[in-house]
Amino acid sequence: MTFLSFAEGKKTYAAVLAGVALGVLQGLAQSNIVHVPVPGWLDWILMFLGLGAARHAIQSQTAKTTDDVVALVRAILVDITIPAPPKPIDPNTDSTGATVRTTPVEVHELQPITS
């Protein structure tokens, strides 16, 4: 049990570290620097160990009780604010806020043009 409590939260990091180390060894072997035979099946085992550890971590983080979900919904509902009602629109203004003024206009009837 002591080892399991120590390994809690470190399994994914261990799988990633082992994968990086094996990748470096494979790279060195391909470049003819160090000849360490690394079997290909080891990559698959590490990949699935990492996926399993990540899935377990995600499940333990997202497993919530009904009370936790209810508390979260209540906290969200408390923060909802209703916006203020819009101000009444003045018919003498346009959407830019400029005020429309009227000016008296003189109208004269023009004489027809005869040619």
Ranges of H-type helices in the chain: 2-7, 11-30, 41-62, 66-78
Look at residue 93 and tell me if it is in a domain. no
Look at residue 46 and tell me if it is in a domain. yes
- Domain that includes residue 24, residue range: 2-77
What would the pLDDT profile of 1-34 be if each residue is shown by its tens digit? 455 566 666 777 777 788 888 888 888 888 888 8
Exposed/middle/buried for 92, CB within 10 Å: 0-12, 13-18, 19+?
A: exposed
Look at residue 67 and tell me if it is in a domain. yes
What would the pLDDT profile of 48-67 be if each residue is shown by its tens digit? 887 887 777 676 656 567 77
Whole-model pTM: value is: 0.41
Q: Is the distance from CB of 43 to CB of 15 less than 8 angstroms? A: no
34 Cα distance to chain centroid = 43
Look at residue 96 and tell me if it is in a domain. no
User: How much is the average pLDDT of 77-93?
Assistant: 75
User: How much is the average pLDDT of 96-112?
Assistant: 79
Look at residue 72 and tell me if it is in a domain. yes
The set of long-range contacts for 30-39, using a CB threshold of 8 Å and a minimum separation of 24, is none
- Retrieve residue 12's tokens: 């994914």
